[in-house]
Chains A and B, each alone.
Chain A
Amino acid sequence: MRSVSVDLNHDASLLIDIPDALCERDKVKFTVHTKTTLSSFQKPDFSVPRQHEDFIWLHDTLVETEDYAGLIIPPVPPKPDFESPREKMHKLGEGEATMTKEEYTKMKQELEAEYLAVFKKTVQVHEVFLQRLSSHPILSKDRNFQIFLEYDQDLTVRRKNAKEMFGGFFKNMVKSADEVLISGIKEVDDFFEQEKTFLLDYYSKIKDSTAKAEKMTRSHKNIADDYIHISATLNTLSADDSTKVEGRVASDQELKLTELLRYYMRDIQAAKDLLYRRARALVDYENSNKALDKARLKSRDIPQAEEHQKQCLQKFDKLSESGKKELTSFKGRRVVAFRKNLIEMAELEIKHAKVSICLEHVHTLMCAQRDASEPSSGFDDVGMAF
C-alpha cells in the first residue's frame, strides 16, 4: 500500500507512522507516532491517539488556508468502512442453521480476514496521508499539522461543529458550480491549458476504472465464497487450500490495483482543486482588471483599484508558479507509483497462479491414488481437491 505514494517517510527530520489502531464498533482509534529532530516540537518521540474526524479536520483546515492555495493538498483519507464485512457477518449469523459446522467456521474465517483487510487498509490510508504532509516542504511546517501531531488531549474542541460541517457541504456545492464556469475560461498559459484538459479527462477515466476494478474484485470474492461452500459440502478432511488461494487472489488484487486507482482518483481530484483555485484567482485578476479600467474611466478610486489589481496578479502568479511545480512533481509521483504497483500486481498474480498449480497437481495426484471401491472416498478426494 505504501507503494501507492512512493518516497515518503524518508526524511529523518520528521518520521510519522501509525503503529497500532483499535477498533471499537464503528470507531477506529489510531495511534499516531512521531519521531522528529526538529526543534519546533516539544519532544523528539511521542504518540497521540487520533480519530478519523481529526484527520478530516486537519485536511479541511489546510484546504482553507489561503497560503496553500497553490499546493495540492493530499486527499483526505476515506472513512473506515466496515459496512460490507459487517453485513456479511450478519447474513452469516442468520444462515448459521443451514450450514455445517465446518462451513460456518470457514465462512467466519473468511469474513474475519476481510474485516482485517479493511482494517489494515484504513490504517494505511491514514498513514499515507500524514506521510504526504510530512514530506512536503511547505505543508510539513504547518502549525495545525503540528498541533495534530503533538496535542496530547482530545482535539474535539477544535473540530468542526455541526454548523460548520453544513457550511462545508454548501461550499462544496458552490465549488462544483464554479468548476463548470471555470473550465470554460480561456487559459493564458499553455502548461495549465494542457494540464486542465488532461486532468479533467483522466479523472473521469480513472473514476470509471476504479468502479470496474471494484466490481471485478467483488466477483472474485463471490467465487471464493462459493468454493468454501463447495468444499464444506464435500466434507473436506484436509485444508481447502485452493479456496484460500482464490480468496487471496481477490484480496491482493484488491489491494494493488483497486487501491492504486482509488488513491489516484482522489489525488487527481486534489490536483483539480488546485487548478480550480488558480482559475478562480485568474477570474479575480481579470475582474480586478475590469474594475481598474472602470475606475480609470470614472477617474475614481484609482489607487485602490490598482492596488487590488496588483494583489490579484501577485496571487495569481504565486499560484501559477507553485501550481506548476506541484503538478509536475505530481505527474512524476503518479508514474512511479503506477509502475511499482503494476509490477507488484503482475508478480503476485504469477506467484499465486504457480501456487494454485502446485496445489491442484498435488490434489490430482492424491485424488487419483485413492482406490475406487470405497463409496465415500470419492468425496474425500473431491473435498481435498478444493
Chain B
Amino acid sequence: MTALGKPPDSPPQLSLCQSAVRQCVCVCVSVSYPPSSQSTMADTARDPPPELSDFQELQDGEDLFPEPSAPLESGPASLPAEDISTNSNGPKQDSLFDDDPEDLFAEATEEVSLDSPERDVLLSDGPSPAITPITPPCSLITPHIDMFTHCSFDEIEEEEGGDSFDMHISVSDPEKVGDGMNAYMAYKVSTKTSMSLFRSQDFSVKRRFSDFLGLHSKLASKYLHIGYIVPPAPEKSIVGMTKVKVGKEDQSSNEFVEKRRSALERYLMRTVKHPTLLKDPDVLQFLESSELPRAVSTQALSSAGILRMVNKAAEAVNKMTIKMNESDAWFEEKQQHFDNLDLQLRKLHASVESLVCHRRELSVNTALFAKSAAMLGNSEDHTALSRALSQLAEVEEKIDQLHQDQANADFYCFSELLGDYVRLITAVKGVFDHRMKTWQKWQDGQILLQKKREAEAKLQFNNKPEKLQQAKDEMRELEGKVQQGERDFELISKTIRKEVSRFEKERVKDFKTIIIKYLESLVQTQQKLIKYWDAFLPEAKAIS
C-alpha cells in the first residue's frame, strides 16, 4: 500500500481509457458506502462465486490501463478505481477495510444487471474529456483508510480511523400508543454494532419523537457553542401529528409517518457518525437504556418552546450587530461558500419537490389514459386492433405504477436528503455565529481589561494603595479571563476547521451515494419500460 496522509485538498483524478472500460462488463469501482446493516467488522466475507466472472473481467480491464506512473497533482498516487455496480438481488456487503490489498473486490460491489450488448453500446469511441489517467491497481484500496485518517488533527481521531466505523441504526415499526390527543407514535430504534463503546452488539429500544428532540436539544446545548456541528433533528409538524393522533388511516398520514421514520433514522445515523457525539453519554443513553425521562421542554407550544423562540430572535438581532475583524481568510471564504451553498440547495430542493409533484401527476394521468384506452379497445370492432389497444392499456397501467415508484425514489432518495442538508447548513452557519460570539466575548474582555488598566494607572498616579490592590486583583482576574477567552476562540476556530472539513467530506460522500442510487433507479425504470414496450410490439405488429 502506498503512504497515507494525503492532504485533503488534492483530488487525484481517475480515468479509464475507453477500451478498458469497454472490457469491464461490470462497471467496477468501489465506493466507500456508509456502513450497511448486514456487515460487521468481523464479516469480511468475499463476494459469492457468481461474481467471479466480474473479477476476471476487471483484471482484463486493468491490464489495459495506461502508464503506471500517472501524473497527479500532489501526494501519493493512490486512488480507488471507484466501483459501483448495482445488483438488484443481492444484499449489500460492506467491509471497509480489506485485509488483502490484492483483492480488488474487497469493497462492496453489486453488479449492474444488463445484457452485454447494451453495455457495449454504452461506451462510444473516443476519449471523454472528463477522464484522466488512472493509477496502478496495487494502490487501489488505501483511500478508504485515508478518508478517516488523513486529515485528523487529533490523536483520538486517528485511532478512530483505525477502528472501522461499524454501526448501523434503524428506526422501524411505528406504533400508535394511546388514544386521542395524547396519543403518540412509538418507534423502535435498533442498533447493530461491534464497537466496544456499547454493552452489547445488537439491541433495541422504543422511543417517541419528543425523545429525539430532547436528545438533540441536549447535544446542542453541550456542543454547538464550542464549534461542533450538531445535526438538527427532524422538524415538528403539528398538522401531520394531529392527523395521526386523530386516527386517520389514510394515504397521507401513512406517508407522513414513513417520512418521519426515515428522517429519524437519518438523523440518528448522522449523529453517531460524528466521532465526538457518538461518545456522548446522552447519545449512549438514548440508544441503550430502556427507559428515558420524558423530554417535556420540547413541546412546540410549551413555555420552554416560546422561550426558545424569543431567544432565537434575540440572537438574530445580536448577530447583525457583531462586526468581526476576520483575520483568518479561511473562515471568510468558508462562510461565503456556505451562504452560496445554502442558496443553491434551497433552490434545488424546490425544483426537486416540483419534480416529485409532476411525476405523481404523470402517474395519475397515465392511469386515466390506460382506462380510457381499455374502453377504446372494447369499442373497437377490428379484433386484432382491439386486442392491441387493450394491450396498450395494460402497458400504460404498468407504466403508471413505474412512474409512481420513480416519484417515490425522487422523493425519498433525493428530496429528503436536500431538505436535511438545508437544515444542516443552517446548523453550520450557527456554529460560525458562535465563533463570532466567542470572539466578541474575548474582545469585550480585552476592552474591559484595557479600561481597568487605565483606571489602575490613574489610581497609581493618585496614590490610593487599598484601591490599587483591589484594582490589581481585579486586573489579574480579568487577564485570566481574557486569556481564557483567547484560548476559547482558538479552540473553537480549530474545532470548526475540523468539523467543516469532516462535514464537507460527508456531504460529498452523501450526495454521491444518493446520486448514484438515484441514477440506478432511473436506469431500472428505463429497463422496465423497455421490457413492457418490447412485449407490446408484437401485438402491434399482429394487427392486420
Using a CB–CB distance below 8 Å, which chain A residues touch chain B? 198, 201-202, 205-206, 208-209, 212-213, 215-216, 218-220, 222-223, 226-227, 229-230, 233-234, 238, 242, 331, 335, 338-339, 342-343, 346-347, 349-350, 353-354, 356-358, 360-375, 377-379, 381-382, 384-385
Contacts and interface: CB of A to CB of B under 8 A. Distances in A.
A12 B79 CA distance: 68
B428 to A, nearest CB: 12
Contacts of A205: 372, 375-376, 378-379
A354 B504 contact: no
A339 B540 CA distance: 6
B122 A362 contact: yes
User: Lowest 8 CB-CB distances: which A-B pairs, in order?
Assistant: A219-B362, A378-B508, A212-B369, A339-B543, A342-B540, A226-B355, A368-B82, A353-B526
Interface stretch (B8-16, B96-104, B452-460, B479-487): B8-16
A343 B541 contact: yes
24 contacts: A202-B380, A212-B368, A226-B354, A230-B352, A339-B540, A342-B392, A342-B536, A343-B537, A343-B540, A353-B527, A354-B530, A357-B523, A367-B516, A368-B27, A372-B508, A372-B512, A373-B10, A374-B508, A378-B507, A378-B508, A381-B511, A382-B511, A385-B515, A385-B518
A128 to B, nearest CB: 21
B526 A346 contact: no
B348 A222 contact: no
Residue among A201, A212, A215 with the highest chain B CB neighbour number at 10 A? A212
Interface string B24-42: 0001010100000000000
Contacts of B11: 370-371, 373-374, 377
B372 A229 contact: no
Interface in B498-544: 504-505, 507-509, 511-512, 515-516, 518-520, 522-523, 526-527, 529-530, 533-534, 536-537, 540-541, 543-544
Contacts, number: 217
Given A346-B533, A350-B530, A223 B358 contact: yes
Chain B binding surface, main DSSP class = helix
A12 B373 CA distance: 38
Residue of A362, A363, A372, A379 with highest tally of chain B CB at under 10 A: A372
B147 A372 contact: yes
A349 B369 CA distance: 17
A347 B537 contact: yes
B361 A227 contact: no
A134 B122 CA distance: 46
Contacts of B543: 335, 338-339, 342
A350 B508 contact: no
B498 to A, nearest CB: 15
A372 B509 contact: yes
B379 A201 contact: yes
A233 B351 contact: yes
B15 A369 contact: yes
B271 interface: no
A215 B368 contact: yes
Nearest to A375: B504
Contact of B14 (A218, A230, A369, A374): A369
A294 to B, nearest CB: 41
Interface stretch (B49-57, B112-120, B160-168, B228-236): B112-120
Interface stretch (B189-197, B205-213, B258-266, B381-389): B381-389
B323 interface: no
Contact of A368 (B13, B29, B122, B378): B29
B84 interface: yes
Contacts of B372: 205, 208-209, 212
B520 to A, nearest CB: 7
A223 B523 contact: no
Interface string B317-353: 0000000000000000000010000001001100110
A367 B517 CA distance: 11
A216 B344 contact: no
Contacts of A229: 351, 354
A373 B515 CA distance: 17
Contact of A369 (B29, B373, B515): B29
A382 B362 CA distance: 24
B121 interface: yes
Contacts of A206: 376
